[in-house]
């Protein structure tokens, strides 16, 4: 199988510096289902928000706030197009 190259952006040091957050702009369609499912903390804040980056349909993609994200992975689990990946740092 041909090796694919993926375009996107990476947000480092989420979840207290333990993980990296990858968003693939060729896959993100900007549906926002992840934003609705992102859990809120005790102060009612969500870590995900719309990004300045755009997805494949030129609609905004998402980005987490590294200070708030706990790396639960709900967004990556429900993303219909697998556009989000959370990876633990080695």
Partner 1 sequence: MAYKLDIAPALPDAQNEEVGASKFCPGCGHGMVLKSLAFAIDDLGIKQKTVFGVDIGCCLLAWNYLDVDTVQNHHGRTTPVIYGVTRANPEAIGIAYMGDGGGLAIGAQHLVNAAVRGERMLIVLVNNTNYGMTGGQMAPTTLPGQVTETTPYGRDCDATGRPAKGAEMIAAIANPEKSYVARATISNMRKLRSTFKKALETVDKGGFAFVEVLSVCPLNWRTNNVDTWARLQQMEEYFEVKEFVSGSEGQNG
Please give the residue ranges that form the binding site for partner 1 (CB under 8 A): 1-2, 4-10, 22, 24-27, 29-33, 35-37, 53, 56-57, 59, 76-83, 85, 87
What's the closest the beta carbon of residue 68 comes to partner 1, in angstroms?
A: 19
Give Cβ neighbours of residue 25 (< 8 Å, ≥ 6 apart): 7, 8, 9, 53, 54, 55, 56, 61, 83
The residue count for the chain: 90
Q: Which two tokens mark 56?
A: 């494949």
What's the closest the beta carbon of residue 5 comes to partner 1, in angstroms?
A: 6
What's the closest the beta carbon of residue 1 comes to partner 1, in angstroms?
A: 7
Q: Which is closer to partner 1, CB of 41 or CB of 82?
A: 82
């Amino acid at each position: 199988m041909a090796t694919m190259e993926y375009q996107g952006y990476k947000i480092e040091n989420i979840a207290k510096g333990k993980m990296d957050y990858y968003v693939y702009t060729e896959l993100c369609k900007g549906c926002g289902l992840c934003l609705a499912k992102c859990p809120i903390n005790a102060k009612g804040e969500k870590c995900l928000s719309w990004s300045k980056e755009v997805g494949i349909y030129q609609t905004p993609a998402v980005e987490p706030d590294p200070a708030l994200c706990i790396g639960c992975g709900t967004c990556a689990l429900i993303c219909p197009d697998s556009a989000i990946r959370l990876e633990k740092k080695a």
